[in-house]
């Protein structure tokens, strides 16, 4: 049986108490935290999780241009590493298992420095962060995004190649079905190919809404995850349509991303899991 988690990043700006209560209400095992440690009181989050019977699975780090691990300015690269270490401490203090790391800033679509230098910085910097993470029992998940959000690691094969170069026991491959639907020829096959190194996954439908609201067939995907013995969380990351989904959320009118999709996501995938288990 899979464990289910929900990425609270979509619940833009609401009190964490409301998010934790919602996730618990719809039967999730855990919540994925937004990677902005300064926004949270660790004691309060731990107490709320305990009161509601859920855990913290992971943290979704936010890579802004100032948090770019491959920026040509070493001061920015160091700032990005400090940020990742802060997220690692935060996640460990919440009892989480995984921290998501992207090689570069979100929506940066071309290298600024020489690409070989950038790739070397990814390897060097993620290794350093992974050494730090290993002392807290945290695994670093390198997430594959689509071509419109990154140029470095926009397929599981590219992430896998980076993970092999990084070569640390607590660094692995992460997929996100929204991105994979754009970049992978066959999502289930990619999961099988890189399954041994898969440490985390985000699920969303083709339109980034709850599974069942778009056109992805989740059956072969869940079957592949079962067959490879994936033992991480199935974490939903749902966002509204927009190149800047947070700006869309801030405008309002995305009510379905709260109760409706939180319930629909877990209900849809649990039904698939059940069908495949019988």
Site residues, ligand LER (CB under 6 A): 60, 100, 106, 143, 145, 149, 176, 202, 237
Return the number of the residue (14 or 148) whose C-beta is nearest ligand LER: 148
Minimum distance between the CB of residue 176 and ligand LER, rounded to whole angstroms? 5
Minimum distance between the CB of residue 239 and ligand LER, rounded to whole angstroms? 7
Minimum distance between the CB of residue 47 and ligand LER, rounded to whole angstroms? 27
Q: Does 149 bind Mn ion (CB under 5 A)?
A: no
Give Cβ neighbours of residue 38 (< 8 Å, ≥ 6 apart).
none
Could you give the C-alpha distances from 172 to 12, 41, 92, in angstroms and in order? 28, 29, 18
Helix (H, G, I), strand (E, B) or coil at 144: coil
Minimum distance between the CB of residue 6 and ligand LER, rounded to whole angstroms? 13
Handedness of CA 154, 155, 156, 160 (dihedral sign): negative
Q: Does 183 bind Mn ion (CB under 5 A)?
A: no
Among residues 32, 176, 205, 273, which is the contact residue for Mn ion, using CB under 5 A?
A: 176
153 contacts which partner out of Mn ion, ligand LER, none, CB within 5 to 8 A by kind?
none
Return the number of the residue (77 or 202) whose C-beta is nearest Mn ion: 202
Return the number of the residue (68 or 143) whose C-beta is nearest ligand LER: 143
Minimum distance between the CB of residue 149 and ligand LER, rounded to whole angstroms? 5
Return the number of the residue (106 or 228) whose C-beta is nearest Mn ion: 106
106 contacts which partner out of ligand LER, Mn ion, none, CB within 5 to 8 A by kind?
ligand LER
Q: Does 237 bind Mn ion (CB under 5 A)?
A: yes
d(CA 50, CA 52): 5
Rounded to the nearest 10 degrees, how much is the dihedral formed by the CA atoms of 185, 235, 273, 277? 100
> In this structure, what are the phi and psi dihedrals at residue 100, rounded to the nearest 5 degrees?
-85, 135
- The half-sphere exposure of 77 on its side-chain side, counting CA atoms within 13 A, is 20
Could you give the C-alpha distances from 150 to 102, 183, 220, 238, in angstroms and in order? 9, 12, 27, 19
Q: Which of 149, 60, 56 is nearest to 100 (CA)?
A: 60
273 contacts which partner out of Mn ion, ligand LER, none, CB within 5 to 8 A by kind?
none
Point out which residues bind Mn ion (CB under 5 A).
Answer: 176, 202, 237
């Amino acid at each position: 049986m899979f464990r289910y988690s929900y990425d609270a990043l979509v619940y833009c700006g609401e009190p964490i108490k409301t998010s934790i209560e919602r996730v618990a209400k719809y039967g999730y095992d855990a919540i994925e935290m937004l990677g902005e440690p300064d926004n949270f009181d660790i004691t309060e989050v731990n107490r709320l999780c305990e009161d509601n019977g859920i855990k913290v699975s992971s943290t979704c780090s936010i890579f802004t241009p100032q948090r770019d691990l491959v920026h040509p300015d070493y001061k920015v690269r160091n700032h990005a590493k400090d940020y990742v270490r802060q997220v690692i401490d935060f996640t460990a203090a919440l009892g989480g298992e995984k921290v998501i790391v992207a090689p570069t800033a979100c929506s940066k679509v071309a290298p600024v420095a020489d690409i070989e230098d950038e790739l070397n910085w990814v390897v060097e910097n993620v290794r350093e962060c992974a050494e730090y993470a290993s002392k807290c029992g945290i695994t670093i998940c390198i997430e594959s995004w689509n071509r419109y959000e990154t140029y470095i690691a926009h397929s599981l094969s590219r992430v896998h190649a980076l993970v092999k170069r990084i070569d640390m026991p607590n660094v692995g491959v992460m997929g996100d079905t929204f991105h994979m639907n754009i970049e992978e020829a066959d999502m289930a096959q990619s999961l099988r190919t890189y399954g041994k190194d898969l440490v985390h996954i985000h699920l969303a439908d083709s339109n980034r809404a709850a599974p069942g609201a778009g056109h992805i067939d989740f059956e072969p995907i869940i079957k592949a995850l079962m067959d490879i013995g994936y033992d991480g969380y199935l974490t939903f990351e749902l966002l509204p349509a927009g190149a800047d989904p947070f700006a869309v959320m801030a405008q309002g009118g995305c009510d379905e991303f709260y109760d409706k999709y939180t319930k629909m996501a877990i209900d849809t995938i649990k039904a698939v899991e059940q069908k495949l288990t019988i």
